[in-house]
Structure 1
Amino acid sequence: TDAIVNAANNHLWMGAGVAGAIKRKGGAEIEQEARKQGPIPVGEAVVTSGGKLKARYVIHAAGMGQNLRTDADKVEQATRNSLKRAEEKGLTSVAFPAIGTGVGSFPIRTCAEVMIGAAVDHLATTTCIRRLRFVLFDQPTYKIFREELMKHHEF
């Protein structure tokens, strides 16, 4: 995978959830590089190196602000802007978490609807992205994302 997406806050601190796991595995330099680019508006995304990760890049998608809450519009914008950043780098593969469903307590089904909708819209355009994955926390989350993806069976 060329890039993994970090479900970030707009200050780009990497403490808990997906962000904490990325920092532990990839190194503190990822957070240092990200924080130099922040704070950013909620819904925006920035790119850093992948540090010690196998992925070359981390795309930090600000799905929430300091209050650690999100909504459908913020998740959709964070997804769309992450895909734009991947395009700008010419990346062919990107892995997404379910943005906002952990620390942000955002409903999984709504997350699946907006993220998959944004991804399908993006992939319907001219794109260099050939593989888009959703890396999900557990089987119930996987099942919900799979159900939503099946509604877009043309992909």
Structure 2
Amino acid sequence: MEYDIIRGDIAAQSADALVNAAGTSLRMGSGVAGALRRGAGEEINEDAMAKGPVDLGAVAVTDAYDLDAEYVIHAAAMPHYGDGEATSESIRDATRNSLAKADELGCQSLVIPALGCGVAGFDLMEGAEIIGEEIENYEPETLEDVRFIAYSDEEYDAIRAATGSADQSEMTEAGESDR
């Protein structure tokens, strides 16, 4: 399956589902989770925490509330805060389970961040390569539009380089609100 690499604020995206880079507790703290919580409203954090904790690599789904999406898929690529870091296996599982859950929900579009590569401490280049491989190898049922989102220019460039997309000539801007 082909996908686009875009730069922007995940909370400003319009898609059937947005993926949250979550810890196993599903508590929405900083980074991607914080951006989604601010965009959706505090109810999303309460809803997510009520569905947790989940196993490392697992996903849970909430309503997207005030975001321009139907669902938020909370992908636990990292342990609960302070309980360790993301691993290649947890990133691979969280990515694969996010794609499968989006298909199960009948989603056609999905936006996914660099799971486990922020506060979870996993190397961005290696994580992006894993996520890119999982997206490319996934055989979708309903998914047609998958966007791998980066927040900063540095993150965007690293994802492009790690996924072999560095030859694309222009960066796609996608959402202007602050993270």
**Could you tell me the TM-score, scaled by structure 1's length?**
0.91
Structure 2 match to 1:78: 94
Structure 1 match to 2:147: 133
Structure 2 residue 12 is the aligned partner of structure 1 residue 8 = no
For 1:104-129, what per-residue CA distance to the aligned partner results, in whole angstroms no more than 9, with x for missing partners? Answer: 1211110111001111111xx24211
Report how many residues are paired: 150
For 1:71-103, what per-residue CA distance to the aligned partner results, in whole angstroms no more than 9, with x for missing partners? Answer: 111001000001111011000000011111111
Structure 2 residue 112 is the aligned partner of structure 1 residue 96 = yes
Letter in 2 for 1:113: E
Tell me, what secondary structure is at the counterpart of 1:5?
strand
Relative to structure 1, is the Cα distance of residues 68 and 95 closer, same or farther in structure 2, using a 3 angstrom cutoff? farther
Letter in 2 for 1:22: L
Identify which of 142, 145, 151 aligns with 2:159. Answer: 145
Structure 2 residue 10 is the aligned partner of structure 1 residue 27 = no
**Greater helix share, structure number:** 1
> Does structure 2 conserve the Cα–Cα contact (< 8 Å) formed by 1:10 and 1:65?
yes
Residue 133 of structure 1: how far off its partner (Å): 0.5
> Does structure 1 conserve the Cα–Cα contact (< 8 Å) formed by 2:23 and 2:77?
yes
> Does structure 1 conserve the Cα–Cα contact (< 8 Å) formed by 2:126 and 2:162?
no
Tell me, what secondary structure is at the counterpart of 1:61?
strand
> Does structure 1 conserve the Cα–Cα contact (< 8 Å) formed by 2:78 and 2:85?
yes
- Separation (CA, whole Å) in 2 of partners of 1:142 and 1:127: 28
- Separation (CA, whole Å) in 2 of partners of 1:149 and 1:111: 10
Residue 68 of structure 1: how far off its partner (Å): 4.9
Structure 2 match to 1:120: 136
Structure 1 match to 2:4: none
Identity %: 37
**Could you tell me the TM-score, scaled by structure 2's length?**
0.79
Letter in 1 for 2:36: I
**Structure 1 regions of 5+ residues with no counterpart?**
none
Ranked by relative contact order (alpha carbons within 8 Å, sequence separation 6 or more), the top structure is 2
- Separation (CA, whole Å) in 1 of partners of 2:132 and 2:100: 15
- Separation (CA, whole Å) in 2 of partners of 1:87 and 1:126: 7
Identify which of 31, 38, 46 aligns with 2:60. Answer: 46
Structure 1 match to 2:77: 63
